Amino acid sequence: MYKYHCLNPISQVGLDQLTEEYTPVNEAKEADAILVRSAVMHEMEFSKDLKAVARAGAGVNNIPLERCAEEGIVVFNTPGANANGVKELVLAGMLLASRDIIGGIGWVQENEEDGNIAKDAEKAKKAFAGCELEGKKLGVIGLGAIGVLVANAATHLGMDVYGYDPYVSVDSAWRLSRSIHHAKTVDELYSDCDYITIHVPALDSTKGMIDKHAISLMKDGVVILNFARNILVDEEAMVDALVSGHVKHYVTDFPTPTVTGVKGAIVIPHLGASTEEAEDNCAVMAAKQLKDYLENGNIKNSVNYPDCDMGIRGENTRLLLLHHNVPNMIGQFTTILAKDNMNIADLTNKSKGKYAYTMIDIDSPVPAGVVEELKAVGEVLRVRILA
Ligand SMILES: NC(=O)c1ccc[n+]([C@@H]2O[C@H](COP(=O)([O-])OP(=O)(O)OC[C@H]3O[C@@H](n4cnc5c(N)ncnc54)[C@H](O)[C@@H]3O)[C@@H](O)[C@H]2O)c1
Ligand SMILES: O=C(O)CC[C@@H](O)C(=O)O
């Protein structure tokens, strides 16, 4: 029986994946696995029982990835599962920044008692006129799951699209429409585009990337969209640029006291992934990944350990070793197993940066003493046994 705890509400279709072998618990410290959306986990202490964290979503800056790795806790996310929901809201954001839909609706609400509203609207509407997206230049920074969808959709609106991503994956490159121009430098994208949208993860290397200097390179009247994370933008510099009119609109999915209420800021309460479909997709993917890890030891879409798959466990005893990515780990494991006459039926070892993962199928039971010996090997962070 596995115990799981949800730190945020998780869609029921996802939880339905966790069948009779699983039970929800009220305390994170009792859980084998945690499901989370945006709850911040940096200050949390993790119990020795916690084996995995599944982020039902893309961004993992709310989770202490390295500390989890050091404690042998595998962290998963759900790449692409909410990308369409975000794409649609980015398109809405571009439209809200181009036509004064918000101002127009506000006028109608203020005049709802006016019996002559139809006639008066015809006079009032010039105050809310805007411009079209067709023919405008859009710069997309980050061509991953969301950036590719936004870039491709914008071409169908008749926009001239420029993409910048020095680390673009082969998969994303295949999915990108041929009509998208390749911006070789981000500065080129800043200086040429009418609309700029950011779709990169929040990392030390991307924090504050839209700063005073970046904004100074942009056209007067530029529209900047941020549906990625607030820390990618220097908000003080953004407020100055909105106040001066250099930036016409800053459309952001992240309300903060600094930008909320500033003229030209269009602030949305983190709704990018808040669609029925995105919530269901993320929850199902997160739960399936957790289940496969807990029951079979397979890792798919982890952000702190390598992907590794040996299929369904079957009749064998499966040993799972999470360890640092240093020489001679497999040699030490196989020596311990050979000493106790254990026969290895299958073995896989994968690494990702500082961390590695070894899965070993043994075609006999594994005595507790052998597991203790494996745990005592230096650089081993956790040993699990599935029998
Ligand atoms: N508003 C929301 O509700 C919502 C929903 C999903 C994701 N997000 C945010 O959006 C981010 C992107 O999501 P995704 O699903 O597209 O992720 P992704 O991992 O599929 O794509 C990120 C892309 O950014 C690129 N990149 C990294 N550093 C870069 C840099 N310095 N310059 C240019 N490109 C760079 C990567 O190569 C990758 O292609 C997430 O990390 C998350 O923070 C927000
Ligand atoms: O869970 C959410 O509502 C937001 C998720 C989003 O920010 C993400 O990074 O996937």
What's the DSSP call for residue 308?
B
Q: Among 66, 77, 55, which Cα is nearest to 354's?
A: 66
CB of 136 closer than 6 angstroms to any ligand 2 atom = no
Residue nearest atom 31 of ligand 1, based on CA coordinates: 206
**Predicted TM-score (pTM) of this structure:** 0.96
Closest C-alpha to ligand 2, atom 9 = 59
The preferred substitution site among 187, 199, 229, 270 for testing ligand 1, maximizing ligand atoms within 8 Å of CB, is: 199
User: What residues contact residue 212 under an 8 Å CB cut-off, 6+ apart?
Assistant: 234, 237, 240
Instruction: Kindly list the distances between the CA atom of residue 68 and the CA atoms of 57, 63, 133, 177, in Å, as whole numbers in the listed order.
Output: 18, 8, 44, 38
Type of residue numbered 281 = N
- Is the beta carbon of 86 within 6 A of some atom in ligand 2? no
Best probe residue, ligand 2, of 7, 35, 37, 60 (max atoms within 8 Å of C-beta): 37
- Structure letter (DSSP) for residue 269: -
Cβ–ligand 1 contact at 85 (below 6 Å): no
Do residues 158 and 241 both lie within one domain? Answer: yes
ipTM exceeds 0.95: yes
- CB distance 226 to 252 below 8 Å: yes
Q: What is the pLDDT of residue 156?
A: 98
Residue 275 pLDDT: 98
Domain boundary among 254, 287, 305: 305
Tokens matching residue 370: 């052998």
CA nearest ligand 1 atom 19, residue: 144
| pLDDT of res. 315 | 92
Tell me the ligand closest to 283's alpha carbon: 2
CB-side neighbour CA atoms (13 Å) of 225: 29
Stretches in the chain below the pLDDT threshold 70: none
Mean per-residue pLDDT of the chain: 98
Q: Looking at the structure, do residues 136 and 157 belong to the same domain, yes or no?
A: yes
Q: Which of 141, 93, 85, 90 is nearest to 248 (CA)?
A: 93
**pLDDT number for residue 85:** 98
For ligand 1, say whether the CB of 79 is within 6 Å of any of its atoms. yes
- Check if 37 has its Cβ closer than 6 Å to any atom of ligand 2: yes
Structure tokens at 38: 């945006």
pLDDT of residue 205: 97
Distances (CA, A) of 139 to 44, 49, 158, 181, 327: 38, 46, 14, 9, 44
CA–centroid distance, 200 to ligand 1, in Å, is 3
Domain interval for residue 21 = 1-82+274-305
The reported pLDDT for the residue numbered 63 is: 98
Report the half-sphere exposure of 301 (CA within 13 A, side-chain side).
23
Ligand nearest to the CA of 229: 1
83 Cβ inside 6 Å of ligand 2: no
Residues 142 and 3 in one domain: no
Whether residues 297 and 325 share a domain: the answer is no
235, containing H or E segment: helix 235-244
Atom of ligand 2 nearest to the CA of 77: 10
Sign of CA pseudo-dihedral 173, 178, 179, 183? positive
What separation in Å is there between the alpha carbon of 270 and the centre of ligand 2? Answer: 8
Residue nearest to ligand 2 atom 7, measured at CA: 59
**How many domains does one find in the chain?**
3
- What is the per-residue pLDDT for 215? 98
Say whether both 108 and 254 belong to one domain. yes
> Which of 271, 255, 220 is CA-nearest to residue 93?
271
Q: Which of 165, 268, 274 to mutate to test the pocket of ligand 1 (most atoms within 8 A of CB)?
A: 165
Residues 247, 291 within the same domain: no
What distance in angstroms lies between residue 273's CA and the mean position of ligand 2's atoms? 5
- The reply to whether ligand 2 has any atom less than 6 angstroms from the CB of 58 is yes
Q: Which tokens in the block code for residue 360?
A: 């070993």
> Quick one: 88 and 166 in the same domain?
yes
Other CB atoms within 10 A of residue 240 CB: 15
pLDDT at 17: 97
92 and 106 co-located in one domain: yes
Residue 147 Cβ < 6 Å to ligand 2: no
Please indicate whether residue 32, judged by its CB atom, sits closer than 6 Å to ligand 1.
no
Same domain, 234 and 289: no
Q: What is the pLDDT of residues 361-380, one digit of tens each?
A: 999 999 999 999 999 999 99
Angle, helices 101-110 vs 83-98, to 10°: value is: 70
Q: Is there an atom of ligand 2 within 6 Å of 82 CB?
A: yes
Helical packing angle, 101-110 and 117-124, nearest 10°: 140
Q: What is the CATH number of the domain that holds 363?
A: 3.30.70.260
Give the domain CATH number at 233: 3.40.50.720
What local confidence, expressed as pLDDT, does residue 264 receive? 98
Residues 78 and 12 in one domain: yes
pLDDT at 378: 97
- Taking the centre of ligand 1 as the mean of its atom positions, its distance from the CA of residue 149, in whole angstroms, is 12
Residues 6+ apart with CB under 8 A from 183: 139, 162, 163, 164, 189, 192
Statement to judge: residues 387 and 240 lie in one domain: no
Do residues 130 and 279 both lie within one domain? no
